[in-house]
Homo-oligomer: A and B are copies of this chain.
Amino acid sequence: MTDQIQPIILTGDRTTGPLHLGHYAGSLKNRVGLQHTHRQFLLLADTQALTDNAHDPDKVRRNVIEVALDYLAVGIDPALSTICLQSALPALAELSMLYLNFVTVARLERNPTIKDEIQARGFGRDIPAGFLCYPAAQAADITAFKAQVVPVGEDQAPLIEQTNEIVRRINRQVGRDILPEARALIPAIGRLPGVDGKAKMSKSQGNAIPLSASSDDIRDAVHRMYTDPNHLRVSDPGSIEGNVVFMYLDAFDEDPAGVEDLKARYRHGGLGDMAVKRRLEDVLQALLAPIRERRAALARDPEFVLDIVRQGTLKARATTQETLDDVRRALGLFAFDG
A residues with a Cβ closer than 8 A to B are: 46-47, 50-52, 54-55, 57-58, 60-61, 64, 85, 87-88, 90-91, 93-94, 96-98, 100-106, 108, 125-133, 136-137, 173, 310, 313, 328, 331-334, 336-337
Contact = CB atoms under 8 A, between A and B. Distances in A.
Given A61-B334, A333-B60, A336-B87, A130 B106 contact: no
Contact of A334 (B46, B51, B108, B328): B46
B100 A332 contact: no
Given A50-B98, A85-B336, A90-B90, A57 B130 contact: no
A333 B46 contact: yes
A128 B103 contact: yes
Instruction: Give the copy number.
Output: 2
26 contacts: A47-B98, A51-B101, A52-B101, A57-B332, A60-B333, A60-B334, A61-B333, A85-B336, A87-B94, A87-B333, A88-B334, A93-B97, A100-B128, A100-B129, A100-B130, A100-B133, A101-B128, A102-B128, A103-B128, A104-B126, A105-B125, A105-B128, A105-B132, A129-B133, A133-B133, A313-B336
A332 B137 CA distance: 22
Given A55-B173, A93-B96, A129-B100, A334 B105 contact: no
B332 A310 contact: no
A71 to B, nearest CB: 16
Contacts of A47: 97-98
A176 to B, nearest CB: 15
A285 to B, nearest CB: 33
